[in-house]
Every structure is written in C-alpha cells, then in structure tokens.
A and B are shown apart, each in its own frame.
Chain A
C-alpha cells in the first residue's frame, strides 16, 4: 500500500532528458527568483554588517553603546513578557473554545483570534485613547467616575507594550492549543475517566501533556513575533517614562540618521535580530502551525460539560475579548467619529468630519491607492510564485525540490525590519537596479515576506488532489499545462483564493517594512497612519485605522464565506 502511494505521488515524470526539460527550466527560473528576492537581501545584509578593514568594526561600535544594550534588554523583556501573557491567555481560551460546551464556542474562537489579522500597532493606537495618562477614557472613568484615588495606568509604558503585544500574539497560542485539543483522540480521555480519574485529573494527566508542546510552540512564536515587531514599541515606547527602546526601533533610529555609519550599525543590529529567525522553524513545527492550512477540523468530539462553570466561563471569555480586542477597536471607531476628542462623549460631538478631512487630502487618496495596489499585487504575485513552487515540489519530480521550502520561508522567518534593510541594500543600486522610493521596492518586500503563506496554502491544496486527477486528463488528451489549468487549478481554487487573502490582509496594513522603504510618492496607509498618529492628527489616524480594520475584517469574512468557514479567522 505504501509502495503504491509513494509510486503514484511521484506523478508524471518529466522527460529525463535533464536540464533541457521544461520542468527543470521553470524550476531553475523559480530558484533564481527565490535567490534574488528572498535570499539576496538577507545575504547582503549579513555581508554588509561585516564590511570594512576590521570586519567586526560595526559590531564593536554597536556593542560600545549602552543604548543598544538597553534596546536588546528591552526586546528580550517585552518579548518574554508578551509570550507569557499570550501563553496565559491562549491556553485556557484555546481549551475553552475547542473542548468545552461553552456557548457559541465557534464564534468565540473567531473573535478571540481576531488580533491575528488586525495589526498590533492599530491596537496600540486604540489603547492610547483608553489608557493614556490623565486623558485616557478608562483612566478618567476610574478616577472621575468611580472616584478612585489617582491611579493613572498608562499604556505608554513597558507594561503597556508587553500587554498589547501579549494580547495580539495570544491567537498563536490559542489556535495551537485549540487544534492540539482537537487532534486528541477522545477515547484517550474517556479511558482515563473510566479508569477513575476526575475531570481535573484527566485534564492534568491526559489533555495537558498532549497540548503542552503546541502551547509552548505557540508561545515561542509569540516571543519571536514580538522580537520582530516594530509598530507597538514605536507608537508607545518614546513617550513612556522612562522611554522604552527595542532593537527594531533602535534600528529605525540608526536609519533615520541618514549616514553611512548609521546604516552600518543598523545592519549590525539587524544581523543580531536576524538570529531570531533560527528559532522560527522550531516554533512553527511545535506549534503545529505548519500543518494548519490543511484546514480540516476533525469533528465528533464530545464537548466537556462545563456545568455550573458555564456562565462563569462565558463571562470570562467575554471579558477577555471585550477588554483586549473589542475595547481598543471601539475606541478607534469612537474617536474617529468625535468631532473634537477633547469635548468628550455627546451626540453633538459625533460627526463624520474627520473622514471627510482625511479622505480629501490628496496624500490619503494616494496612500489608500498604494496600499490597495500593493496588497493586491503582492497577493497575486505571491500566489503565482508560491503556487508554481508548490506545484513543482509536488509534481515536478525534482530531486532537489526540497530546497525550495527553506528558501521561500526565509523572508517570513526574518523580522520585517531586517528584511527591509536587506531590500534597501539589494535594490538600491546593486546590479544597476534602483527601486528606492518606488512602489516596486515595497512590492518586492511584501511579496517576499508573505510568499511563504501563499506557498503553504497552495501546497496544502495540491496535496489534497491525487495526481491521478491530472493523469486522467493527460490520458484524455490534455497537455501537461492544460491538465494543470483545467483540472488542478479549478480543484484548488478555494485554497488559492484563501492564499490570496492571507497575503492581502497583512500587506494592506503593513507598517514595519513600509516605514523603512516608503518614499515621498509612495506612502501607504500604515506609514501615513503612523505619521499622523505621532505628529499631527490622532483623529485622522483613527480614521485610517478604522479603514484598515474594516477592509481586513471584510477580507476575512470573504475568505470564510468562500471557503465555507474552513479558512480565515
């Protein structure tokens, strides 16, 4: 049986005439593209960091600055704290939504995973309305409304950053746990019950040991994601007392110096940050997210009855969702609708004036257009290239097909900041190509960064189609290309559409890379929001944030609709 499977998945062999065969040609082109767009930027970055008479000069310089050490410490502190919060939130929530009779478990699962698709910096902006020192609405409610003694909790703080990052990365743990729980054979737990273990005992002795690995993997992803994140510390860090600095913001600071020396030090710091990518494959594997896109959710588990805890659990889940996700988004919506934020809540103060003002600015129109164009092009490109790679690997019969996967994953594992600096090195003058300040620059970065998502989704789709489907078409008289276009592609259409949106969504509100790569003519929604937020007009920033969230949620709903709820959050 296994023989047969192995044999048939080998699929249609390309002509063994070697390098001249079309498959080998397409393969060579694909590897060339991967090398240029996914590997070259990072390779140049590492090389650049070692340049000069003394190869370690940049590193020595970087190490001599106390500020860099405190940035490193900041990154590690924030990331550990965020991973802990993600873990503490994700484990119970993941178990509740996947294993119990919590009312509306399905919907809660989607709602609690929302931060997965909404950029974290948008959450940070939302929180600034709620918990900025004296003016934050929640703080005012606590002090003025409830007469609490002055205890302004400030979101502009190390704790605030940790909290937001933790919340926004908690879906990694939640989904890993939920899926691990679903993979458990219910008979194992039932056997423990029959053997005399109470429900808590069963959880501790059977369930948790089987979920632990995935939960820790999810927490590691949260840790790495936080190390790489730029938006939240950039929005909140500078105004904290004492200011919070992390590696990504520090790198941006060096770039902003616009000096060669500054750039050299930025590359050295980036190379250090790139080390995080090494742990990424481990995190992906243990959390089980590398097999997530398969999309099959085994049914038939009998939910654990929560009994009298049901209401309490519901209240808890609702509170967590409300406090972590709903509230900041609501705050953004309200602030975008308040004519004058200082005047407080009243019907007269509600208006759409900011929407008008913002959308009438030519720059906003440009940013909106750019973001749409970039996200759609990146998604199309990533699906095209990722789909081709997946196809070659599954059906090409290439002996070296396995090298494609790590190459395609490299940019996704690398922090966005690092990838962007690599892109600057690779595409501003190297080999006569200068894309600086153009949309192409951003497109190259987006497509490379999110290629892996499209690749994985396409591969999952192709894996579900037995090669005999295309072989039957070949026998019927179809050429190889036709058998792919008329049989394989229609059969994986759902996966390809989902893959497209999986790239579109994070690209649409992208900030981390864009902030380093955009030029005067190429603002994106992310960069414009960030500048409005930090310098001029928080209300206008709220408008953009609401727009981004709306488009992302709409895309997500579309994916769920099209895939019958299999994909999307």
Chain B
C-alpha cells in the first residue's frame, strides 16, 4: 500500500482518515483476453473526502458508472484496491459486499427503480424488509419522506407520482439505513431542468445537514457547479482538480 501512497495527490499518511473513499491503481477490464476487451478503468488512484459532495464528469463510455459500481460494492475490480473508510472492499465476498451496501451505502439511479406494487413508504422501507420492519423503522421512514418533502405521498404508488417525486422517494430509500455515502448515477438524467435542480438541491442539503458524502455522476454542468469537487474520467483515466492527473 505504501508504494501507492504517492499516487494520491492530496494524501499524506497522517490524514488518511479524512478520506471516505480511497483507490489505488483501480483497474477494470471487461471481457479480459477476448477481442471485445474493454479497459473501463485504467489504474485509477484517488480519494474522496468525508462529507463532501463530489461530481464525476466525463464523456459517455469513459467508465463513470463502472467506477461508481465498484465503489458502491456492486461489482468487482480486475486489479488494484479500493477502500471504503478503513474497509478494503476489493476482494470481499458477495455476502460481505451486500452487508456493506445495506449499512454504508445508498444508491440513486437515473430511472428511479421503484417497485411498482409498493407504496412510496414501502419503497422507502424496501432495504429493511428482510430483517423485519419495526414501528420505529416506520416512523423513521415517514421522517425520511418528510425530509425529501413527500410525507403527503406516503401511501401513493409510484405510478401516481411525478418523475421528480419518484426520484425523491428513491433518495429517501437510499437514506433509510443512514448510509455514510450516497452514489447517484445521473440522478437528473430523466428529469427536466427544474426537477433536476431540485433533486441536486435536495442532495446538497442532505449532504450539509446530515454530513452524508454524495458522489454524483453527471453530464450536466449545472450539477457540477453545485458540487465541492469535480472529478473527470476520460478513457478510464481519472483527472483530479487543479490539473493533476492521477497517474
């Protein structure tokens, strides 16, 4: 690990704990060894500071979603290391990754991914279903709905909600387990600019008030403006601000 340290532009050994995410030469190669081989992430080394709201920009196919999925414990890397807090997530078993997704991570996707048969409240409670839902859980979910401004919609089914409202429900679902980090992959992609702005503003306020780290993949400069830091991916290579390439 020591030999990677100098890859991280901002990092010195004594302040490692200020990073919620750290990666060292993180590489993802799809269909390795086949003619269709794609190097989606190429020795990506960087860090994301705890409590920040960060955007990841870059052209289509540059590896943004790939990076998010690996950091979000939904996919494995081909090589390199990634840390969430002090946990090395690269190389963990499926079961352990699932536990981390449940306790540490919230996801928001472009097309909301609400379950149509469940009410807004039940969708928010979805992550808790396997372990059982207590009365306090239900109250917490209602509070979370209130935080995203939709306590009046608790009983509504997704088809009765607007796109912006659906995305708010998805954000409430991401928040229900008090995650330390939220990954949002083009959360405004299916929304008009007004609703998009509102979603970003909501994420911003959650980030400020709850201290939850937010990582947003977006093509939209209006989103970038609202974030603390803009990371850029190009052909699987990461560029961190102040002009420093990670490699």
Q: Do A and B come from one complex?
A: no
Residues of A within 8 A of B (CB): none
Residues of B within 8 A of A (CB): none
